[in-house]
Amino acid sequence: MVHMNLFEQLMYYYQHNGLYVLSQFSRHFLISVYGVLLAAIVGIPIGIFIAHHSKLSGTVIGIANVIQTIPSLAMLSIIMIGLGLGVNTVIVTVFLYALLPIIKNTDTGMRNVDPSILDSGKGMGMTRLQLLRLVEIPLSLSVIMAGLRNALVLAIGITAIGTFVGAGGLGDIIIRGTNATNGSAIILAGALPTALMAIILDVVLAWVEKRVDPAKGAN
C-alpha cells in the first residue's frame, strides 16, 4: 500500500508538473551533450596526437586521470570562482571529466590499428593525412564511440549536481524533494528521468558503436 501511495504521488506530480519536468529533462540533456561535444572536439585530436607520439601518452592520460580524481562538487566550486553560477560552469566541469574516456579510447583505438594495413596504405602512396582520414580513424571509430558513450553517461551524473550552482536540470527536482517534508515521490520524479536518460543514451550509443565497428560490419 505504501508503494502504491508513492506511485500515485509520483503520477500526481508528473500530471501537475509535466512541462516543468520536460523542460528540466531537455536542459539536463543539452548541458551533458554540450560538455561531451566540447570534450570530443578537444579530446579526439589529442588522442590522435599522442597515439603518434607515444612519449606524451603517459603524461597526457596521467593529467586527465588526475582531473577525474577531483570530487565533482569540488570541481564545480573551483570553476565557479572563475565563471560564476550557471550553465557554463557545469558544461566546463562535464568537459573536464569527459576528457579522460575520450582521449584514452582514441589513443587505444588508434594504436590497435593493424600495422600491416597501414603499410599497405603507405605502399599505395597514401600520405599521412590520407592514412589518418581513410584508414586509422575509420578502423578505430568503434573504440572512440565507446569512449564517447562512457563520457556521456558520466556527464549525465555530473550534470545532476549542477543544481548546486544554479544550472537547473533534473537535479533541481531531486533537491526539491530532499527539502520537502514527504519528498520521496519528488525525488523519484527527478531521479527516474535521469536514470532513463542514461540508459537510453547508453543503448543508442552501444548500437552506433556496433554499427561503426569494421569487424562487425564485415560479417
Q: What is the pLDDT of residues 110-142, one digit of tens each?
A: 999 988 988 888 888 888 889 999 999 999 999
Instruction: Return the pLDDT at 1.
Output: 38
- pTM reported for the whole predicted model: 0.90
Instruction: Report d(CA 153, CA 209) in Å as an integer.
Output: 14
The mean pLDDT of the chain is 91
Instruction: Report d(CA 47, CA 35) in Å as an integer.
Output: 17
- The answer to whether residue 40 scores a pLDDT higher than 90 is yes
Average pLDDT over residues 90-109: 96
Instruction: Return the pLDDT at 214.
Output: 75
* pLDDT top residue among 49 and 215: 49
- Its CATH architecture, for the domain 23-214, is Orthogonal Bundle (1.10)
Instruction: Return the pLDDT at 4.
Output: 56
Instruction: Return the pLDDT at 67.
Output: 93
Q: Residue 76, class by beta-carbon neighbours within 10 Å (0-12 exposed, 13-18 middle, 19+ buried)?
A: buried
- The answer to whether residue 219 scores a pLDDT higher than 60 is no
List pLDDT tens digits, range 1-36. 344 588 888 999 999 999 999 999 999 999 999 999
Q: What is the DSSP string of the chain?
A: -HHHHHHHHHHHHHHHHHHHHHHHHHHHHHHHHHHHHHHHHHHHHHHHHHHH-HHHHHHHHHHHHHHHHS-HHHHHHHHHHHH-SSHHHHHHHHHHHHHHHHHHHHHHHHHTS-HHHHHHHHHTT--HHHHIIIIIHHHHHHHHHHHHHHHHHHHHHHHHGGGGGT--SHHHHHHHHHHSTT-HHHHHHHHHHHHHHHHHHHHHHHHHHHHT-HHHHH-
